[in-house]
Each structure stands twice: as structure tokens, then as C-alpha cells.
Amino acid sequence: MIQGKSMLKSAQLRKLLVVSTAAFVLGGATVGSLMAQENNRPQAAKPQLMAPNPSFIQQLSFADLVEEVSPAVVSIRTEADVAVRDRMQLPPGIERMLPPELRDELEQQQQEEEDPDGRSVRRPLGQGSGFFINDQGHIVTNSHVIDGADEITVVLNNGDELTAELVGTDPATDLAVLKVEPSSEQRYVQFSEETDLRVGDYVLAVGNPFGLGGSVTSGIVSAMNRESNSAYANFIQIDASINRGNSGGPTFDLRGNVVGVNTAIISPTGGNVGIGLAVPANVATDIVQQLIDEGAVTRGWLGVGIGSLNDRLAAAVGTDSTEGALVQSVTEGSPAEKAGFEEGDVVLEFDRTPVADATSLTRIVGALPPGKKVKAKVLRNGEEKNLTVTLAKRDPLEARQASDENEESEAPAASEDREMSAGLTLSSLSDQSRRRLGLDDDVEGVLVSDVELGSEAAEAGFRRGMVLTRADNMPVKSVKDLEKALQAAEKRGKEAVLVRVQTGQQGAFFLAMPVEAADKG
């Protein structure tokens, strides 16, 4: 809620818009009778509009709320020294054929002036929004708003300009904190502590779209938990107008609390089409406090490679549910290895929180502090086990980008091919194959030398060039080892087995192989 003034009265926030429809006064005559008498009248009287009764009309207005929160919202401008680019030489008249945004960029480039050394120029990077969250001068905005800036200027609601210093950023959630010289008169707002935000709730967005500071738009929450490109947060979707320059600004509920930080729009044109995205307050609260206290965000680290379950993988690990995160790999020396996590485990709960999928586990772990001791429940070989793990600190440099899942590695044909009924052709793994596939010399297994198009194996995700190293938690050094594992699983009534797969690009992960694959061998 806003600080510095009394709380808004709930009655003011719950005003209803009553639409009064005026009626024509026709003196009891029907339209038909009027038309029939039209020729007999010298001049028909024009119908009069009834004046609405003021006592029946109340205006839905956010004016009181806007008056309370607007002083806490600021505009942000950024500048940086950038290298002068070579002047672009275009044929005469070609400018008229360029889109407006390219013409503007070309004109700006041609107007650049070099500094005395001829190396760079001072140039504006962009603009955005932000808001004060305490009386110490701390301002919340988006990380991308101030990315690369050498100088950050904050424009207050009254037009005053202040130079801001960067306290810290968290690109993973696109949040940043700035600081200006505090003022005892500066108004500020707070993040909502409520967790009952629902689709359909009214919200207000205040910000600096297209440099028009102090702009206010209204709308509703149109969706919750929208997927984002961050592993640590989902978005709130709102239909209040969000445009360029709104980034970093607040979304308010009708109590004057910040429920989200506007961060992105979804639009084919680059302008507002009614789909704005905001970082939820419950995520922003923790991130902002860490940035203020430490200047950076630290997240817990477990040390596992994980994936989500599908129906095939669920059958292979012995469960009817696709809930949970499948442990694809365990990092040597990691907290997970020390706690006893194994490849093929399915993490069902972590820190007493149910794990829905791989993303869910990532967010649970990332929200916990390093050094915390937590309980985990895993499914292993059809039985549930409880593990205790002490989280370590995540190193941002350890983040890996997954390779294209559809990328296939070419593998040479082998002389000892074995065709399986699921559409796989397997062969022994040679030293030459290891080198070609970029695998370590100590990798042992069988090579997928071919996959039949449209086969069950292809649908399960198997690709040529993969190496199968384990099946049903047993090492696979030959095709016979794989067949034995499949046959043993079939006798136990399993429909599929969990197969550990290794590639030179993606590392190790798991796929589900149907037990019928051994029938044709």
C-alpha cells in the first residue's frame, strides 16, 4: 500500500458504474401510429431526451487511487558511450523505401558527432519506468531497462531529475534495484503480501510509455502463471495497455499494493494488443530484498540434470503419474551426490513442496538459500525414499544451454548391427565412433546406428548417434546386456524400461524403451 497518506477507503475502491439509458418521450403513441399520422401533422414534434437522475449515477473512477500511487512512480532514462559506426551510404532516394523506424535510425546515425578523440559518442540507450519501494531511495525497475548504461537518470512525478546508482540486477528474473538520494517527502509503495490475486481482478499500470511519463492504464488480470524464458518465475498476464517505456513500472491492485512489475508484451507489431506480462510480487519481493542487502541474488544449487516425465517415462520408472522431475545426471561432488541422489530417481517432493515437473523443481531449489538442509522424497525402482540434502551456492557460470533436441549425429554403419522390433538398429561402440561422436574414451554402451522413421522408438525420442549406457539401472556394454534387461523387465510386468542415453552434444539423459524391443533380436 502507499505510504505517507491514509489508506484509501474501501468504499472509494468499490464504486460501481451504473449505466443509465435515456428514453424517448413519445407521449404514449406507438411508432406505427406516428408514421401513419405524419402526413396529417404540420410538423412532428422531435422526441426529447429525458435528463438522467443524478442520484442514480455513480462514476467508476480510479482517480483517488491514482492520486495516491502516482508520486511513487518514476521515469528512467539511460545513456552510454558507444562506438561511432561507419556512416551508412545508400543510393539516392532509397530512404523513402525504408520503414519509418529504419529511417529514424539512419537519420540518428547520420547526426552523430564524434568526441574529441574520435572514438565514441554519448548516446541515449532507452527509457523505462520504476517505482520507490521504501524511504531509503530504492527504486525497482527491469534489468533490461538499465542494461549497458553508463548513466541512469530518474525523473520524478513532479519533473525533478536525479542521478541514480545501480544497486544490483538479476537478469534471470529481469529485475534491478536503483538508488537515489532519499527524501523525507518522497512517497513509496509496497509489494502486495496477498497471494489471492485471481483472473478477473482489476489492476492499474502506471508508467512511462513512449516517454509519456505519468501515464495510467486499467484492465484486469487475464491469466496467471504464464510461461516465461526464466527458470525462476512465471508471469501475470494483464490486459491493461503496456507499451515501450512501461517496462519496470508497477501494476497495482485496488488497494494500492504492487502485484507485479511490468516486464514484457506479446505483440506481432511491437505495440499493445492487450497482452502485457508482469513479474509476480511474491517473486519480486525476495529478489529485490536480496539485491538491496547483498547487491546480487544467490540461489540454492542441488547439482542434478533433470527432465520432466511423460507417459512413456512414467511407465519406465514404475509410476502411473507424470508428476515429478526425473534425475538425468548427478554432478560429481555436488550436494545431490553427497545426499545419495541417483540417476533415474524421480523427485516427488522437495522441502515439503510437491514437484510437478523439472521447471517446478528448479524454482523450488532456486528459491532456497545456500546452506539450507532440506528433505527430499524420491521414487527409485518403484519405491519411495527420503533423502536429506544441504544445498550449495549456484554459480551463474555453470548454467548450460541445451542443444537442439532434434539434432542428430551421424554415425558410421557397424558390422555387428542388431535390429530391434521397436524400430531401432543397434551396434557395438567402437573407438572410432567415440571420436566421431565426441564422447570420452571411457564411455561404454551400444550405439543407435539407425532409427526407423515413424517407429515406436522414433516416437519415444531415440535418434541415430545416441549411445545407450544403462537400462533399468543396469550397465549396458553390449546389445545382449540390453536384451537381458528388457526381458527381465517384461517378466516383472513392466511395459517399458528407463534407458540412460548419452550424446556428445546433450550429455546424458533418459528415454523410455518398450520391453517389446527385444523380441526381434
Query: Would the annotation count 142 as a binding residue?
Result: no
Catalytic residue among 143, 230, 247, 449: 247
Cβ count within 10 A of residue 509? 21
C-alpha 349/C-alpha 371 separation (Å) is 19
Catalytic residue check, 20: no
Query: Would the annotation count 79 as a binding residue?
Result: yes
Catalytic residue among 70, 75, 170, 174: 174
- pLDDT tens-digit readout, 482-495: 888 888 888 888 88
**pLDDT computed for residue 384 by the predictor:** 92
**pLDDT computed for residue 5 by the predictor:** 43
- Calculate the CA 222 to chain-centre distance: 16
Query: Would the annotation count 246 as a binding residue?
Result: yes
CB-CB contact of 370 with 392 (8 Å): yes
CATH superfamily, region 300-398: PDZ domain (2.30.42.10)
Which residue type is seen at 398? E
**Could you tell me the CA-to-CA distances from 223 to 253, 278, 280, 358, 379 in Å, in that order?**
15, 11, 12, 22, 33
CATH superfamily, region 418-518: PDZ domain (2.30.42.10)
Alpha helices in 272-310 (DSSP H): 281-294
**pLDDT computed for residue 48 by the predictor:** 57
**pLDDT computed for residue 402 by the predictor:** 30
**pLDDT computed for residue 410 by the predictor:** 33
Three-class DSSP category at 6: coil
Query: Would the annotation count 395 as a binding residue?
Result: no
**pLDDT computed for residue 107 by the predictor:** 62
Which residue type is seen at 133? I
- Calculate the CA 330 to chain-centre distance: 26
**pLDDT computed for residue 361 by the predictor:** 92
Catalytic residue among 129, 144, 215, 345: 144
Q: What is the DSSP letter of 44?
A: P
CB-CB contact of 129 with 249 (8 Å): yes
**pLDDT computed for residue 497 by the predictor:** 84
Residues of the chain with pLDDT under 50: 4-38, 86-88, 113-114, 397-415, 520-521
**pLDDT computed for residue 521 by the predictor:** 45
C-alpha 280/C-alpha 198 separation (Å) is 12
Query: Would the annotation count 115 as a binding residue?
Result: no
Query: Would the annotation count 334 as a binding residue?
Result: no
Cell of 9: 477507503
Three-class DSSP category at 370: coil
C-alpha 373/C-alpha 351 separation (Å) is 9
- Region at 25 (left for phi over 0; alpha for psi -120 to 50; beta for the rest): beta
**pLDDT computed for residue 397 by the predictor:** 46
Element (H, E) at 64: helix 63-69
Closest C-alpha among 167, 400, 373, 390 to residue 287: 167
**pLDDT computed for residue 120 by the predictor:** 57
Catalytic residue check, 138: no
Q: Enter the CATH code of domain 72-109+120-297.
A: 2.40.10.120
| Total count of residues recorded for the chain | 521
Catalytic residue check, 247: yes
In the chain, what are the domain boundaries?
72-109+120-297, 300-398, 418-518
Task: Tell me whether domains 72-109+120-297 and 300-398 share a fold.
Answer: no
**pLDDT computed for residue 86 by the predictor:** 47
